Amino acid sequence: MSIPDPSSAKLFRVLQTQAGISRRKALDLVLAGEVSLDGRPILDPFLVLDPTDGHRVALRGHPLSLHPREPRVYRFHKPAGMLCSHDDPHSGNTAGRLLRAEGFLGYTWAGRLDQDAEGLLLVTNDGDLVQASSHPRYEVRKTYHVWLAETPSSASLERAFRIMQAGIEDEGEVLRILEGRIDSTARCAAVTLAEGRKHEVKRLFARCGYSVTRLLRVAVGSVELGRLAPGAIERLPQAEEARLLEDARRLLDKTDAERGCHSDDDSV
Which residues make Cβ contacts (< 8 Å) with residue 228, sequence separation at least 6? 75, 77, 120, 234
pLDDT of res. 256: 67
pLDDT at position 84 is: 92
Dist CA 29 CA 59 (whole Å): 8
pLDDT tens per residue across span 161-198: 999 999 999 999 999 999 999 998 888 999 999 987 88
Domain limit, last residue, from 69, 90, 118: 69
Q: Do residues 170 and 146 both lie within one domain?
A: yes
Same domain as 53, residue 103: no
Give the pTM.
0.75
Q: What is the pLDDT of residue 251?
A: 86
- Asked whether residue 25 is assigned to any structural domain, the reply reads yes
Per-residue pLDDT, 58: 92
Domain termination residue (choose one: 29, 51, 69) = 69
Give the pLDDT confidence score for residue 268 in this predicted structure: 24
Cβ–Cβ under 8 Å, residues 7 and 51: yes
254 part of a folded domain: no
Q: Give the pLDDT score at 195.
A: 83
* Structural domain contains residue 50: yes
- Indicate if 146 and 213 belong to the same structural domain: yes
235 and 178, same structural domain? no
Residue 95 in any domain: the answer is: yes
Range of the domain at 173: 141-220
Specify if 168 maps to a domain.
Answer: yes
**Do 59 and 184 reside in the same domain of the chain?**
no
Beta bridge partners of 175: 168
- Establish if 262 belongs to a structural domain: no
Tell me which residues are annotated as active site: 114
Task: Check which CATH number belongs to the domain holding 54 and give it.
Answer: 3.10.290.10
Structure confidence by residue, pLDDT tens digits, 71-96: 899 999 999 999 999 888 878 899 99
In terms of domains, do 42 and 28 share one? yes
State whether 181 and 209 are in the same domain: yes
Residue 256 lies in a domain: no
Residue 133 shares a structural domain with residue 230: yes
Q: Domain check: are 175 and 234 in the same one? A: no
What is the pLDDT at residue 7?
Answer: 54
* Spatial separation of the C-alpha atoms in residues 10 and 163, rounded to whole Å: 47
Cα gap 50→47, rounded to integer Å: 10
**Average pLDDT by stretches of 10, the chain with 268 residues:** 54 81 84 94 92 88 82 96 87 89 86 94 91 85 96 94 97 95 92 90 96 97 96 96 92 73 35
CATH number at residue 86: 3.30.70.580
Residue-by-residue DSSP string for 23-69:
HHHHHHHHHTT-EEETTEE---TT-EE-GGG---EEETTEEE-SS--
C-alpha span between 18 and 20 (Å, rounded): 6
Q: Classify residue 205: in a domain, yes or no.
A: yes
- The CATH number of residue 157's host domain is 3.30.70.1560
C-alpha to C-alpha distance for 25 and 86, rounded to whole angstroms? 15
Instruction: Tell me how far apart the alpha carbons of residues 240 and 243 are, in angstroms, rounded to a whole number.
Output: 5
pLDDT at 127: 84
Is the domain of 96 the same as that of 62? no
Total domains, the chain: 3
